[in-house]
Amino acid sequence: MPYQELLFPGGSMDTVLPVYKDGVVASFYNDCVVAAVRAIVDALPEGRLLRVLEIGAGTGGTAASVLPALRHACSCYTFTDVSESFLRAASKIFAAEYPFVEYELLNIDADPRLQGFASAQYDLIISTNCLHATPFMRNTLRNCHQLLAPGGLLLINDAQPTSAFVQITFGLTDGWWLFHELGDPERVGYHSPLMEWEQWRGLLEESRFRQTVCMRGAGFLQVQAVMVAQKGGAATSAESVTRIGRENGAQLFTGGLGGLGLLTARVLVKEAGATRLLISSRSGQVQRGSEADWEWLATSGATLRCVRSDASDPSEIRWLVQSLSGDNWRLGGVFHAAGVLADALLAGQSAQRFCTVYGPKVHGGVALHRAAAQSPVSTFLVYSSAASLLGSAGQAPHSAANSWLDAFAYWRRSICGVGQGLQWGAVAEIGYAARHGADTRAERSGSGAPTRAMAYEALSCALSSHWRLAAVVPIDWPKLLGPSGAGVGMTFLTPHRHKGRAAGREERAPTKAAQVPARGTASTSESLVSFELLLQLVERTVGGAVDADAPLMEAGLDSLGAVELRNQLQQARLRPHPHPSPRAP
Ligand SMILES: NC(=O)c1ccc[n+]([C@@H]2O[C@H](COP(=O)([O-])OP(=O)(O)OC[C@H]3O[C@@H](n4cnc5c(N)ncnc54)[C@H](OP(=O)(O)O)[C@@H]3O)[C@@H](O)[C@H]2O)c1
């Protein structure tokens, strides 16, 4: 017998409705929701009206309970669901008595802005037994956060994993298992989509909610919970950034004279009021492109101490941390930005190249952790890479070392509460990637190049949030995923697959202006590449004019560029170019 017949015999809701409406547990928690709504209404300033959104409002059980409490305190109550039939039924029930209710389709798993919902427009979001049923919890909470105005409240009434009844009953439905089929990273290995309060709280905090509380009854009532979380307002995040300045500890940087190190130092001084910076690198030289940030810092009034120190040498890191006490400085934060590359195709990789990259990143990370073990630092930020998230051809040591850093940040957070990682895309304007044209290549591949302004914003957010790990990659989905939507074949990109398909439709109509065939659109199969076409591909790869008689490496084609050129030739179904220069026979 199909489960629909069991739960909804003859298409009727009569068997299921009492579970929601009349059960002791359902009534208890419905009353909790109403009590919370009344408390919110009571706290409203004179004349202030609430804008309320209900997600997954279904048969209207929650709306029927809370609408009386909102009658004189609500300018609009948006009743939403993914099914239009619920909206039609609800409008018949509520329209006459509650004219401020509006009825809209909303899938909270997808970006609300693409469904006609403006950001920051609600003061209160209510959801009963719905949010767990979405495939990716982080998407869901991010979308809720986006819909709330600063200071707005999210009120979640949801079953707990202790509820065997709910599991057995609704485990019959297909929707129950979406989290498993699509592989929600938050619920890997779970036998149900339901989450304990502790996990809700962690996710809410990582989704930039604060002041999270949980209401739960005793004994058999523990199968459900009503949870409330508040969206931090602008003042709150600024408050937590300025914490760094108030604590007045010294901020220690490895790789601090590079593009991202100096930008971070600037953010710390400007946004967080940091006054003491210990900046280390091997050469003591400001990296090209960051002179303006250095000059700004030098005149900012903050005390800067620059030290030559090799992060891959544990004894130098120990000395660096100990040197703080000589100035009567206390270690307040660690920013681990030291890094070098040793790129080569896999066949050209060697243990030596891995050591070169692992030295500053991995051994440096361990040494910093050990040296800082006695200091209660408020920040320990590691500079990882999108190469860890998405992979990167020719950068095996870099991908591996940054994956290690990601895991290290997680681990450090779990053992002492402080540890964060930022996976950088190829940043434009400043830093290593910009100096070597990797930002241009990232733009072309679709993984995107964050601008300096984006990097500044990301650093400000990281300092004011509790994220463990965040990626700074302004992805161009159509480009990255390609026409088939299959993209780089990673399951965590599944929710975005449709974005690639949309692009595929556009890519099938190439413009005449496109002289170089778009990827995958060449008409020739296995033909030898013409000189003109090859020259254009090489110029596109290195991002400028190329001397056709010069060796490719001299023309600026580094190992990553070579991989990209080869990929372009293969995708255009042309034979890889075997020659040292574009013109060579
Ligand atoms: N920029 C990006 O787009 C991007 C993308 C992904 C990841 N990242 C990561 O972010 C971090 C910073 O990148 P960035 O763009 O700011 O690079 P950058 O401009 O090249 O700066 C790197 C800094 O690290 C220092 N350094 C290198 N090896 C060191 C060592 N063994 N000990 C101490 N200092 C060392 C360099 O100075 P010396 O040579 O004088 O020592 C330099 O000051 C790196 O870990 C990088 O892997 C950056």
In this structure, the number of other CB atoms found within 10 A of the CB of residue 113 comes to 12
CA of 258 to the centre of ligand 1 (A): 6
Q: Express each pLDDT in 478-490 by its tens digit.
A: 888 876 665 556 7
What pLDDT was estimated at residue 436?
Answer: 94
State phi, psi for 514 to the nearest 5 degrees.
-70, 100
Q: 396, exposed or middle or buried, with CB in 10 Å at 0-12, 13-18, 19+?
A: buried
- Determine contact, residues 154/229, Cβ cutoff 8 Å: yes
Which DSSP symbol is given to 360? I
CA of 422 to the centre of ligand 1 (A): 14
Q: Which of 472, 477, 480 is nearest to 449 (CA)?
A: 472
What pLDDT was estimated at residue 319?
Answer: 95
User: Which residue minimizes the CA distance to atom 10 of ligand 1?
Assistant: 383
What pLDDT was estimated at residue 498?
Answer: 64
Give 190's contacts (C-beta < 8 A, 6+ positions apart). 179, 180
Mutate to test the pocket of ligand 1, among 383, 399, 439, 443 (most ligand atoms within 8 A of CB): 383
CA of 439 to the centre of ligand 1 (A): 15
Q: Which of 30, 25, 3, 29 is nearest to 15 (CA)?
A: 3
The ligand 1 atom nearest the CA atom of 431? 15
The ligand 1 atom nearest the CA atom of 398? 47
Which DSSP symbol is given to 517? P
Domains of the chain, start order: 14-231 (3.40.50.150), 236-475 (3.40.50.720), 510-585 (1.10.1200)
Mean pLDDT, rounded, for 552-556:
68
What pLDDT was estimated at residue 519?
Answer: 36
Higher pLDDT, 86 or 140: 140
Mean pLDDT, rounded, for 5-32:
80
Least confident of 195-199, 529-533, 568-572: 568-572
Dist CA 2 CA 65 (whole Å): 32
Three-state secondary structure call for residue 441: helix
Mean pLDDT, rounded, for 252-269:
97
Three-state secondary structure call for residue 125: strand
pLDDT band at residue 571 using 50, 70 and 90 as cut-offs = low
CA of 456 to the centre of ligand 1 (A): 16
- Determine contact, residues 311/364, Cβ cutoff 8 Å: yes
Dist CA 541 CA 566 (whole Å): 10
CA of 254 to the centre of ligand 1 (A): 8
pTM (whole model) above 0.75:
no
> Residue 178: what residue type?
L
